[in-house]
Chain A
Amino acid sequence: MKILVLVKQVPDTATKIRLNPGDAAIQTDGIKWVINPYDEFAIEEGLRLKEKHGGEVVVVSMGPARVEEAIRQALAMGADRAVHIVKDAVGDSQVAARALARVCQDEGYDLIVTGKQAVDDDQAQVGPLVAVELRLPQVTVVLKLEVDPDARKIRAERELEGASEIVELPMPAVVTAQRGLNEPRYPTLPNIMKAKKKEVKSVPLESLGIDTEPWVVVEELTLPPERPAARILTGEPEEAARELARLLHEEAKVI
């Protein structure tokens, strides 16, 4: 089985967002970059499928030079090799999907696994867009995945609001990973060493011959409005509870 995993590098979730008025992008100096948390589930699932059915796991990632660090980490988890689409300019999800789909096409695949959402732009659309580009079926926000490579069939459980559903689809397909799908492994020291020697093919975005004009353009970023200072109640629990209930009832009028 040949499994392609799409990996995006994003700011660490502990990042405090800093902006100047009128900015269309956050300030990135001093940011710690990590693998998108959902993409760790995607990588892990790819590795487990390979361990079970044999084959190869190839990581594809698009972004500037710093992305190589995320790629090496994915290789240290156990992926076999990687393709880095080198891109410095602004894009959008469609540009990303077109570029990623082109590389997937060139690589060939039985399965493409992505995260359900990148925790920076939060668009949750690159997986399905890649699927449309390649005319593949999709299943998103997956909690459980069963793949039958001989029958070329997939059975997946995906999360709904307070429920879940079973989706059946043929291979090849695009699957997007949700938390709960698996527990991602930590790279071991020998694997970190091995990862340094694994192949990372560098492909300039311009060489792919795709339209790189973004359709969705961020015009301005703003920070959420500050909440007014809290009313803090101390003292006896019963009194504080009574006062809180009164404030919620009479002042906020929410109870």
Chain B
Amino acid sequence: MAEGILVVTNQEEGRVRRVAYEMLAVAQELAPGKVTALTFGPGAEQTREGLGRYGADQVVALNGPAYAAYSSDGFADAVAKATESLDVEALFFPANAWGKDLAPRVAGLLKAGLASDCTDMFRRDDGRLGAVRPVYAGKAFARVAIQSPRQVFSLRPNIQPIKETGRAGTAWDFDPGLDAASFKAVVTEVLTSQGGQLELTEADIIVSGGRGVKAPENFKVLEDLADALGAALGSSRPVADEGWVPHSYHIGQTGKVVSPTVYFAVGISGAIQHLAGISGSKYIVAINSDADAPIFKAANYGVVGDLFKVVPALAQEIRAIKKDA
């Protein structure tokens, strides 16, 4: 019988994202002692120690020349071959840009059902895995069952705790025997973007601005607060549409869906499409001059006032607290 979980993860120059360790902690809970991690590319070998320490029983690093550049069809073939060789019951992928590209491709090859962007995983009474995933951008949650023989899940980053096991994963030498010449879609270049801005979907604190900020140059005020907090900057859609900030800042149902510990909504009214993207935040703080703005209904803390006065004062207070700590 198929058993165990294959955790497929990306890595860059020997470093994995936190979500890799989150997936391993969940997998170890659901299939103790039967967790395999799979990574690709140059530097994959260096991730072995960390993946083992955070819950992989065995690690396979596909660092041959075929895997030097990402290919959705090539990497999917490799994962499908590893799955058959290991005969696992389930596969986990990170629900990031990399995993969301690869997971459905693998699910298609394996003729397996895929539940995307899961926020909770559990073992069901019938012994199979089940999941909870947001739908309608988090306006509702669906409990889903996957009835195909194999089950595929992608897990939303930044949700699950990580756990050090203090062990080392054993190496599993596996070669899918693929030739990169047969890969069709291949990454030829990676363009790094806007000056080291923290990635919103992985940020612990987000300071987000709306039309209430009134002009692009006024974003300085929010930047200063973000700097005091060590936060990433985000925005409502109209502000990104106006070009005040890059498109990548846009949060909401048609932008990024975020789940930070604290979300500061500054000069944002709280339209339903915006709220859909932030409902996974642990705390929402609203700063708005209109006491009737709908954002206050979604918030844990609110300040009714002029953001141009409140935000600088808040940045100063935060700096004072951090200095004392």
Q: Are A and B associated in one complex?
A: yes
Given A162-B197, A240-B305, check contact A13 B186 (CB 8 Å): no
Q: Is the CB of B317 within 8 A of A215?
A: no
Q: Render A196-215 as a binary contact track against B, CB cut-off 8 A, 1 for contact.
A: 00000000000000000011
Interface residues on B, range: 35 or more
Which residues from A are CB-within-8-Å of B247? 179-180
Shortest Cβ distance from B266 into chain A, in angstroms? 12
Query: Is A228 an interface residue, CB under 8 A from the partner?
Result: yes
Among residues of B, the one whose C-beta sits closest to the C-beta of A23 is B140
Which residues from B are CB-within-8-Å of A242? 313, 317
Query: Is B224 an interface residue, CB under 8 A from the partner?
Result: no
Query: Is B193 an interface residue, CB under 8 A from the partner?
Result: yes
Which residues from B are CB-within-8-Å of A179? 247, 250, 254-255
Q: Render B254-287 as a binary contact track against A, CB cut-off 8 A, 1 for contact.
A: 1100000110000000011100100100111110
Query: Is A65 an interface residue, CB under 8 A from the partner?
Result: no
Given A17-B136, A218-B142, A245-B318, check contact A119 B72 (CB 8 Å): no
Query: Is B123 an interface residue, CB under 8 A from the partner?
Result: no
Shortest Cβ distance from B309 into chain A, in angstroms? 4
Chain B interface mostly: mixed
Q: Is the CB of A138 within 8 A of B73?
A: yes
Query: Is B298 an interface residue, CB under 8 A from the partner?
Result: yes
Q: Is the CB of B305 within 8 A of A237?
A: yes
Query: Is A159 an interface residue, CB under 8 A from the partner?
Result: yes
Which residues from A are CB-within-8-Å of B116? 122-125
Given A161-B96, A224-B138, check contact A219 B296 (CB 8 Å): no
Query: Is B210 an interface residue, CB under 8 A from the partner?
Result: no
Complex CA distance for A252 and B261, rounded to whole angstroms: 10
Among residues of B, the one whose C-beta sits closest to the C-beta of A122 is B135
Complex CA distance for A140 and B76, rounded to whole angstroms: 14
Q: Render B125-145 as a binary contact track against A, CB cut-off 8 A, 1 for contact.
A: 000001001111111111111
Among residues of B, the one whose C-beta sits closest to the C-beta of A168 is B188
Complex CA distance for A164 and B313, rounded to whole angstroms: 36
Query: Is B122 an interface residue, CB under 8 A from the partner?
Result: no
Query: Is A193 an interface residue, CB under 8 A from the partner?
Result: no
**A residues near B, CB below 8 A?**
11, 13-17, 19, 26, 37-38, 92-94, 97, 119-125, 127-129, 131-133, 137-141, 157-170, 173, 179-180, 214-224, 227-228, 230-234, 237-238, 240-242, 244-249, 252, 254-255
**B residues near A, CB below 8 A?**
70, 72-73, 76, 96-98, 100-101, 103-105, 107-109, 112-117, 130, 133-148, 184-194, 197-199, 201-202, 205, 229, 247-248, 250, 253-255, 261-262, 271-273, 276, 279, 282-286, 291, 296-306, 309-310, 313-314, 316-318, 320-322
Closest 6 CB pairs of A and B: A132-B108, A215-B113, A125-B104, A241-B313, A245-B317, A137-B184
Enumerate 24 A-B pairs (CB-CB under 8 Å) in ascending A order. Answer: A19-B140, A93-B114, A94-B107, A97-B108, A141-B101, A160-B190, A162-B248, A166-B187, A166-B189, A169-B184, A169-B185, A179-B247, A219-B143, A219-B144, A227-B300, A228-B300, A232-B291, A233-B304, A238-B309, A244-B317, A245-B320, A246-B317, A252-B301, A255-B322
Give 15 A-B pairs besides A216-B115, A231-B300 with Cβ atoms closer than 8 angstroms.
A122-B134, A124-B117, A128-B105, A137-B72, A157-B191, A163-B190, A163-B191, A168-B186, A179-B250, A215-B146, A216-B145, A216-B147, A223-B141, A244-B317, A249-B321
